[in-house]
């Protein structure tokens, strides 16, 4: 299938707003790519892909209208469009990915690059395909750092919005006994399953299509790397109830300017922020269940 690539170059803060708009139209999610200087030091390219089918002209007009309205409050250049084949998209990723070291032990190795791990290193072999999650974005890296800190042997982990499956696989390789990886995008589910099998963790990681409502039970660690507005929605939908009594939530994908809104949503819905990480403009919050109170039924 051919796809229409929509690309907008903007600042780090603008990238989140553009990504939120494009996510309404892109069935396979939105990708953010920093320039050679890295995130926080220059422009960020926000890319989304819509099917090049009979509905493409109408969808393109709707995208252009939505971005125009956004440009009235946030200076933006006009979006660029180009047709790409699915194989071309996958090959384009390979030009930008290298072996990546994160934290004390984690190594993210693209499936097409050789690597000999040092003693004690935990290697995640990754082929992102058309799914978000390569390990290069600050939000993903902060989640990986949190996994190193919080995953205990035998832990139960929930990965909401798994994308390529990078966080679910890392959790399993760090010692989690059971990992549920959910995504609403069927292509992401397919990519994540392939990566799970490639890494030999299919006995511990179950990948399924769905979101918070599909997650039954309680988990020692919940990780959500997604847009700020979705974090606010999930908080209201009972995100706190998915945490075991001593469990931890790692929530990433928000900008510093959006932190207060997410904190307030957590507070209203039974979650207390107990930790914080920041890389450039991006923030990850760590939260635990609040003690029971009359306004929040956990």
Residue 245 is part of a domain; what is its CATH number?
Answer: 3.40.50.150
| Domain ranges, residue 274 | 131-289
Whether residues 163 and 225 share a domain: the answer is yes
What is the CATH number for 65?
3.30.70.1710
231 domain residue, yes or no: yes
Give the residue from 42, 67, 94 where a domain finishes.
Answer: 94
Q: Is the pLDDT of residue 293 over 70?
A: no
Whether residues 28 and 174 share a domain: the answer is no
Whether residues 159 and 81 share a domain: the answer is no
Give the residue from 67, 94, 121 where a domain finishes.
Answer: 94
- pLDDT band of 280, cuts 50, 70, 90: confident
Residue 100 three-state SS: strand
Q: If you average pLDDT over each of 32-36, 140-144, 145-149, which comes out highest?
A: 145-149
Give the residue from 74, 94, 114 where a domain finishes.
Answer: 94
- pLDDT band of 111, cuts 50, 70, 90: confident
Q: Tell me the C-alpha distance between 266 and 287, whole Å.
A: 8
Whether residues 209 and 254 share a domain: the answer is yes
Whether residues 158 and 234 share a domain: the answer is yes
82 domain residue, yes or no: yes
117 domain residue, yes or no: no
Any idea which of 5-14, 186-195, 230-239, 289-298 has the lowest mean pLDDT?
Answer: 289-298
Q: Is the pLDDT of residue 36 over 70?
A: no
Within 8 A by CB and 6+ apart from 90, the residues are 129, 130
For 230-242, what is the mean pLDDT? 95
Task: Tally Cβ neighbours within 10 Å of residue 77.
Answer: 12
Q: Is the pLDDT of residue 128 over 70?
A: no
Q: Tell me the C-alpha distance between 260 and 295, whole Å.
A: 20
- pLDDT band of 129, cuts 50, 70, 90: low
pTM for this entry: 0.77
Torsion from C-alpha of 19, 92, 128, 136, nearest 10 degrees: -60
Q: Tell me the C-alpha distance between 4 and 81, whole Å.
A: 7
118 domain residue, yes or no: no
Q: Tell me the C-alpha distance between 100 and 145, whole Å.
A: 13
Which is it for strands 2-10 and 156-160: parallel, antiparallel or unpaired? Answer: unpaired
Number of domains in the chain: 2
275 domain residue, yes or no: yes
Q: Is the pLDDT of residue 18 over 50?
A: yes
Q: Is the pLDDT of residue 28 over 80?
A: no
For 163-170, what is the mean pLDDT? 93
104 domain residue, yes or no: no
Which is it for strands 2-10 and 44-51: parallel, antiparallel or unpaired? Answer: antiparallel
Burial class (CB in 10 A: 0-12, 13-18, 19+), 293: exposed
Report which of 115, 158, 162, 112 is spatially closest to residue 140, judged by C-alpha positions.
162
Report which of 195, 199, 158 is spatially closest to residue 177, judged by C-alpha positions.
158
Whether residues 138 and 80 share a domain: the answer is no
Whether residues 89 and 137 share a domain: the answer is no
25 domain residue, yes or no: yes
Percent of the chain with pLDDT over 70: 86
Q: Is the pLDDT of residue 126 over 90?
A: no
Q: Is the pLDDT of residue 271 over 90?
A: yes
For 279-291, what is the mean pLDDT? 88
Whether residues 142 and 284 share a domain: the answer is yes
Average pLDDT, the chain: 86
In the prediction, which pLDDT does 27 show? Answer: 66
Torsion from C-alpha of 88, 92, 95, 99, nearest 10 degrees: -110
Whether residues 140 and 272 share a domain: the answer is yes
For 143-155, what is the mean pLDDT? 96
Q: Is the pLDDT of residue 202 over 90?
A: yes
In the prediction, which pLDDT does 29 show? Answer: 64
């Amino acid at each position: 299938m051919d796809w229409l690539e929509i690309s907008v170059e903007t600042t780090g803060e603008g990238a989140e707003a553009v990504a939120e708009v494009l996510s309404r139209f892109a069935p396979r999610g939105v990708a953010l790519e920093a320039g050679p200087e890295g995130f926080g030091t220059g422009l960020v390219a926000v890319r989304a892909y819509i099917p090049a089918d009979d509905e493409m002209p109408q969808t393109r007009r709707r995208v252009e209208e939505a971005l125009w309205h956004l440009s009235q409050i946030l200076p933006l250049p006009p979006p660029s469009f180009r047709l790409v084949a699915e194989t071309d998209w996958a090959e384009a990723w390979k030009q930008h990915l290298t072996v990546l070291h994160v934290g004390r032990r984690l190594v993210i190795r693209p499936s097409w690059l050789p690597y000999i791990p040092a003693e004690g290193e935990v290697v995640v072999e990754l082929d992102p395909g058309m799914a978000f999650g390569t390990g290069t974005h600050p939000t993903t890296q902060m989640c990986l750092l949190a996994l190193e800190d919080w995953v205990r042997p035998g832990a139960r982990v929930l990965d909401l919005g798994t994308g390529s499956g990078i966080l679910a696989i890392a959790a399993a390789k760090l010692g989690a006994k059971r990992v549920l990886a959910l995504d609403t995008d069927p292509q992401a589910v397919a990519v994540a399953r392939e990566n799970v099998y490639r890494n030999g963790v299919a006995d511990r990681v179950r990948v399924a299509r769905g979101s918070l409502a599909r997650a039954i039970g309680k988990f020692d660690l919940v990780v959500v790397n997604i847009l700020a507005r979705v974090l606010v929605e999930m908080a209201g939908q009972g995100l706190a109830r998915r945490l075991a009594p001593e469990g931890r939530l790692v929530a990433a994908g928000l900008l510093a300017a959006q932190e207060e809104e997410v904190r307030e949503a957590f507070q209203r819905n039974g979650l207390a922020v107990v930790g914080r990480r920041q890389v450039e403009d991006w923030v990850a919050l760590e939260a635990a269940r609040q003690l029971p109170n009359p306004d929040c039924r956990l």
